[in-house]
Structure 1
Amino acid sequence: MGRTDRASRVLAASPATVYGALLDREALEAWLPPGGMRGRIERWDPRPGGGFRMTLTYLDPAAGRGKTSAAEDVVDIGFVELAPPERVVQQAVFEADDPAYAGTMTMTWQLAAAGEDRTEVTVTATGVPPGIDPAAHEAGLASSLANLASYVEDAGRRG
C-alpha cells in the first residue's frame, strides 16, 4: 500500500487564492518544484478526470537522482477531485523503470481558513512508492509549501 507522508503550513492568503494557485498552470510551474529543481508542464487539462504532465529537472545534475533519468523526474498527475475552495485530490504516477517508484501516489491538498486571509494548507501523500526517500520527500513537501506561500503572499502584495 505504501506509506503516508504529510506536511502543512499556514499561508497569508485566502483559501480561494490558494485554491487558484493549485489549478493555474503558470502558478504550478513556479511553486510546485521543490528547492533545487525547476518544473515544466507539458500537458494541461484542469478538470476532474483531466490532469497534467510535469517534468522536474534538477538544477545541479550532479546532485540529482532522478526517477526518469539521472537529472529528471517526469510525473503524470490526474485530477481526481476538485472541491473549491477546500480540496484538490491528485493521483501521481512517475515515469520510471525502477519498480521502487511504481504505483500511484495520491496527493490531497486540504485548505482550511485559519483567520482573516489566512489558510492552513495540509498536503497528504498516500501510497508513496518505497523508492522515495522519506526524509527527502518530507523536505520536498515542505519546500513546495514554502514556495506556495511565497507565491500567493507575493501575489497579495502585488495585487
Structure 2
Amino acid sequence: MYSTQVSRRVRAPRAVVYRALLDGDAVARWRVPAGMSSQVHEFDGREGGRFRVSLTYDAPTDTGKSAPDTDTYHGHFERLVPDERVVEVLEFETPDPTLRGSMTITTTLSDVDGGTEVVLLHEGIPDTVPAADNETGQRMALDNLARLVEGDERPAG
C-alpha cells in the first residue's frame, strides 16, 4: 500500500469548496477523471454518513476494478471539520483481493491569497493501482473541483 498527495489553489472561499465536498450532485461532477462518467448511488454528506459511487470508463477497452468498465467504491465520512477538513474512509467493491482494503482520503482546506488551497491526501492505496494513475486522477478531480467552485464549469478533457 502507498499514499499520494496532490494540491491545487482555487479561486473560491473555503466554505464554498467545503460545500462541494459534501454535496452528492457536486461530487458527481467534480470527482470524476477525464474519460469517465460518474454515478452517485448513495450520499449522506455528514459525519458518519455513507456514500457509494461508480466511475465508468467512456472507452469500452478500459478495465475497471469492480466490473469490466467500472470502478465502484463505498465508504463513510469519518470526520468533518467545517470549512477545514473532510476525512473519508472508502474501499473498492471488487472480487480482486489485491484491490480490497480500506483507504482514507483527507481533504484539507486552507486560506491562501485569492482563495483556498485544497490538499488531497489519499492513503492506503493498493499497490496494484499504479501510483501515476491515482495521482493523475486526483489532479483531474481537483481541476474539475476548481472549475465548479470558480463558476467556470466545463467538461474536462
Fold shared, TM-score > 0.5 on shorter chain? yes
The within-5 A match list for 1:31-110 is 31-62=30-61, 64-110=62-108
Quote the residue 1:131 is aligned against.
128
Counterpart code for 2:90 = A
With structure 1 as the length reference, what TM-score do the two structures score? 0.92
| In structure 1, distance between residues paired with 2:150 and 2:86 | 20
Quote the residue 1:18 is aligned against.
17
Displacement of 1:22 = 0.2
Quote the residue 2:3 is aligned against.
4
Counterpart code for 1:32 = R
| In structure 1, distance between residues paired with 2:9 and 2:33 | 18
| In structure 2, distance between residues paired with 1:131 and 1:154 | 36
* Structure 1 residue ranges without an equivalent (≥5): none
1:113 aligns with 2:87: no
Instruction: Indicate the RMSD between aligned Cα atoms, in angstroms.
Output: 1.3
Counterpart code for 2:133 = A
Counterpart code for 1:71 = D
With structure 2 as the length reference, what TM-score do the two structures score? 0.94
Q: Give the % identical residues.
A: 38
| In structure 2, distance between residues paired with 1:103 and 1:55 | 17
Counterpart code for 1:129 = P
- Runs of 4 or more above 3 Å deviation: none
How many residues align? The count is 153
